[in-house]
Amino acid sequence: MATAPSAKLTPLLKDELDIVIPTIRNLDFLEMWRPFFEQYHLIIVQDGDPSKKIRVPDGFDYQLYNRNDVNRILGPKASCISFKDSACRCFGYLVSKKKYIFTIDDDCFVAKDPSGKEINALEQHIKNLLTPSTTHFFNTLYDPYREGADFVRGYPFSLREGAPTAVSHGLWLNIPDYDAPTQLVKPLERNTRYVDAVMTVPKGTLFPMCGMNLAFDRELIGPAMYFGLMGDGQPIGRYDDMWAGWCMKVICDHLGLGVKTGLPYIWHSKASSPFVNLKKEYKGIFWQEKAIPFFQSVSLPKECSSVEKCYLALAGEVKSKLGEVDPYFIKLADAMVTWIEAWNMVNSPGEKPAMTSLPNATSKK
Amino acid sequence: KLFIDTGKDEVFSLIQALNIRVTLTPVLPTRALRSDLTIFMNEWRPMFSRFHVIIVKDPDLKEELKIPEGFNLDVYGKPDIDQVVGSSTSILFSGYSCRYFGYLVSRKKYIISVDDDCLPARDPKGFWVDAVAQHISNLTNPATPFFFNTLYDPYAEGADFVRGYPFSLRGGVKCALSCGLWLNLADHDAPTQALKARQRNSRYVDAVMTVPARSLIPISGINIAFEREAVGPALVPALKLAGEGKCRWETMEDIWSGLCVKIVCDHLGLGVKTGLPYIWRTDRGDPIASLKKEWEGVKLMEDVIPFFQSVRLPREATTVEECIIEVANAVKERLGSMDPVFARAAKAMLDWVKLWQSVGSSS
């Protein structure tokens, strides 16, 4: 039987969760999220020109890191953090000291459900992460731990405990997350379909993970959430979250962790230019044809019992198998190793929390 | 009575225009408790009336069936079953499994099968759900089993493949099976329903999705549709519980059948979809009374699922019949000694394939 965590109340987890937001402009969008985010600590990763001042609405507790901070904290290892691309957000995951991370883009706003009620996306992500995933057998009524649902007939009782949930992947109303070719063909299409479901992506199945509205258990899967080398000086963009998602899923499958997708929805307001996107993505469109079979067939050694070990093994496979596709993958594989080194450096026990250099680092309520 | 007909006229005229023999056959197994099909048939009339209907009467049902006028239908009962398959194999078609006889004798390309305690549902806007039209749409649009699309069915109106979905996979594969869902009385097992006696499913999830390759799913027989030509022999009336009863939660035959279909589809590169359409399942039976019987089916699943998860079909098995024979042999070998129900299931599967080849193939 599916038992949901205590009746109606979802724990806030306000001391256990960081909200990571990459940005190059101001963060006025936070005003709309205030009722839902105000109690949480924000980690803002400022991309682009570090001398630009980012305006954060009053009353939020945050730490802001710009490129100077990234370079200072990581030294030479900073090379693995992308510049001029929202992939830089994974620096926020690295320096966080909390158990859970929620990341959201600065053009994502509060959505409404079909009844008109505002959706507390963070609360839904927390619910998703705190309840098990059903990785081994698909439940046709979707998440059995949701109120009003349960396992269906035929679902073995021994599988009903599920697996710990490592990642919660939310969706988007209004501007859907399409690639550039689809955007060019369907510039007017808007996602208006509210699908009232959360479900587990089954073991052995890959999916495109979008970083716009994502939460994860940093302790369970953090080191696998590297968003790759994108943007300035790189041949590709808009594949940061995809890359992280494929690596993450292979590792979750190997370690017996679960990934959920579906609710919550946010309202995605800005459609980026499909022409700019096409230039960024176009190599990815060809490369993903090679990358997907690679991820579908890669197998990690049984000895890899930690995320770090899995990730390093995966980096080795990327170098040897995808290196032939393009030298970029060799660079990427090296960056994956650098990332793990950086992760261990920053997160080793006894390490002081990474401080920012800016005086406005933490604003008081 | 209002009903959604949006897709349907379009499809119907397409059928006529292209002269495709894609007419469907709703197949209805009847239950021992219900010989009066008047309400059922009348409620479904707007959706069924233009199709051929096959009604198969549970051999144990003694009363005459009451069926309203105005349908293009064929009714089969015990004498017909005995005549077509012989009385030794007619045992396959008792109880809920009588519906498989309908699958066997149909000569249409697609089949839709609905339990007789189900009525049309309404969507959240209040419109009647045309379950037939939705199943047709599911079966005639491709499935995408090799990579999960986070916006669910990419062929639905207003949806598409998301960023990161490989282009070479966007053509999809043929969808061979469409599994619908249930509002009101969901398909829970007896322990779950007994524990949550008042729980009713009121959540309308507006999505169709492909079940990923190599993922197994419990396929309920209450509301399904399939392409008979593609996977007919894979829907096997095989797992008959010793204490199989007249309530759905006292059976597992459809779950077993569904696992066979999924294994075969995965092997042959066909797709299985789940989600819409919903039907409204009326309250019936007492789960607590069912609990007093053996939880045989529930216990068997503990062995059944790991077995199906580990079955590997050889490359040489290229037809559905060959695949089912392979599965049957594996069942006999690996599960046969565990419980006589499995040995019987294996035999039933082999008998079914023979029947399909002699009676089921179009002649």
Rounded Cα distance, B62 and B59, in Å: 8
The identity of residue A322, as a single letter, is L
Question: Hey, where are the domains in chain B?
Answer: 8-362
- The pLDDT assigned to B325 comes to 97
pLDDT at B5 over 70: no
Closest residue to B187, CB basis, from A114, A152, A203: A152
Mean pLDDT of B160-180: 96
The tokens for A101 are 């991370």
- Lowest mean pLDDT: which of A161-165, A241-245, A350-354, B268-272? A350-354
Mean pLDDT across chain B, nearest whole number? 86
Chain A residues whose beta carbon lies within 8 Å of the beta carbon of residue B302: 156-158
- Percent of the residues in chain A that have a pLDDT greater than 70, as a whole number: 93
Mean pLDDT of B326-342: 94
- Percent of the residues in chain A that have a pLDDT greater than 90, as a whole number: 88
- Percent of the residues in chain B that have a pLDDT greater than 70, as a whole number: 89
- A153 and B168 within 8 Å at the Cβ level: the answer is no
Bridge partners for B56 per DSSP: B29, B76
8 A C-beta contact, residue A60 and residue A37: yes
pLDDT at A295 over 90: yes
pLDDT in tens, A4-14: 444 457 778 98
- A176 and B162 within 8 Å at the Cβ level: the answer is yes
8 A C-beta contact, residue A329 and residue A321: no
- The pLDDT assigned to B240 comes to 85
pLDDT in tens, B305-326: 999 999 999 999 999 999 999 9
Mean pLDDT of A26-53: 94
Q: Which residues contact residue B350 at a Cβ distance below 8 angstroms, ignoring those fewer than 6 apart?
A: B325, B328
Mean pLDDT of A301-314: 97
- B181 and A141 within 8 Å at the Cβ level: the answer is yes
pLDDT at B277 over 90: yes
Residue of B nearest to A291 (CA): B166
Reported as a pLDDT band with limits 50, 70 and 90, residue B6 is: very low
Question: Hey, where are the domains in chain A?
Answer: 17-347
- The pLDDT assigned to A161 comes to 93
- The pLDDT assigned to B18 comes to 28
Closest residue to B212, CB basis, from A136, A137, A205: A205
Of A57, A257, A213, the residue nearest A122 (C-alpha): A213
pLDDT in tens, A257-282: 999 999 999 999 988 899 999 999 99
Closest residue to B158, CB basis, from A151, A192, A197: A192
Of A136, A143, A363, A292, the residue nearest B161 (C-alpha): A292
Mean pLDDT of B325-337: 95
Rounded Cα distance, A14 and A41, in Å: 8
Q: Decide which of B89 and B68 is more confident.
A: B68
Residue of A140, A287, A325 best to disrupt the B interface, most CBs of B under 10 A: A140
pLDDT at B360 over 90: no
- A154 and B147 within 8 Å at the Cβ level: the answer is no
Rounded Cα distance, B304 and B299, in Å: 9
- The highest-confidence range among A19-28, B59-68, B246-255, by mean pLDDT, is A19-28
Residue of A141, A153, A259 best to disrupt the B interface, most CBs of B under 10 A: A153
Q: H-helix or E-strand containing B75?
A: strand B72-76
pLDDT in tens, B205-240: 999 999 999 999 999 999 999 999 999 999 999 988
- A156 and B188 within 8 Å at the Cβ level: the answer is no
8 A C-beta contact, residue A113 and residue A120: no
pTM over 0.80: yes
8 A C-beta contact, residue B243 and residue B163: no
Mean pLDDT of A218-239: 95
Q: Does domain A17-347 have CATH number 3.90.550?
A: yes
Q: How close is the nearest chain B Cα to the Cα of A128, in Å?
A: 16
Of A132, A133, A151, A131, the residue nearest A141 (C-alpha): A151
- A154 and B191 within 8 Å at the Cβ level: the answer is no
User: Which CATH number does B8-362 carry?
Assistant: 3.90.550
pLDDT in tens, B70-113: 988 888 888 999 999 888 777 788 888 888 999 999 988 999 99
Residue of B nearest to A246 (CA): B164
pLDDT in tens, A107-130: 999 999 999 999 999 999 999 999
- The pLDDT assigned to B363 comes to 44
Q: Rounded to the nearest 5°, which phi and psi values hold at B178?
A: -125, 120
Closest residue to B220, CB basis, from A153, A158, A193: A153
- The pLDDT assigned to B24 comes to 56
- B164 and A148 within 8 Å at the Cβ level: the answer is no
Residue of A nearest to B165 (CA): A208
Residue with tokens 């996602």: A191
Residue of B nearest to A188 (CA): B158
Reported as a pLDDT band with limits 50, 70 and 90, residue B22 is: very low
- B150 and A150 within 8 Å at the Cβ level: the answer is no
Q: Which residues contact residue A6 at a Cβ distance below 8 angstroms, ignoring those fewer than 6 apart?
A: none
Residue with tokens 């399904």: B224
Q: How close is the nearest chain A Cα to the Cα of B9, in Å?
A: 24
Of A170, A55, A159, the residue nearest A103 (C-alpha): A170
Residue with tokens 């004498």: B79
- Lowest mean pLDDT: which of A283-297, A340-354, B255-269? A340-354
Q: How close is the nearest chain B Cα to the Cα of A49, in Å?
A: 28
The identity of residue B162, as a single letter, is V
pLDDT at A360 over 60: no
Half-sphere exposure of B115 (CA within 13 A, CB side): 31
Chain A residues whose beta carbon lies within 8 Å of the beta carbon of residue B159: 176, 191, 193
8 A C-beta contact, residue A50 and residue A68: yes
Chain A residues whose beta carbon lies within 8 Å of the beta carbon of residue B160: 176, 178, 182, 186, 189
Of B53, B192, B62, B69, the residue nearest B116 (C-alpha): B53
8 A C-beta contact, residue B45 and residue B119: no
Reported as a pLDDT band with limits 50, 70 and 90, residue B65 is: confident
Of A223, A215, A224, the residue nearest A250 (C-alpha): A224
- A205 and B189 within 8 Å at the Cβ level: the answer is no
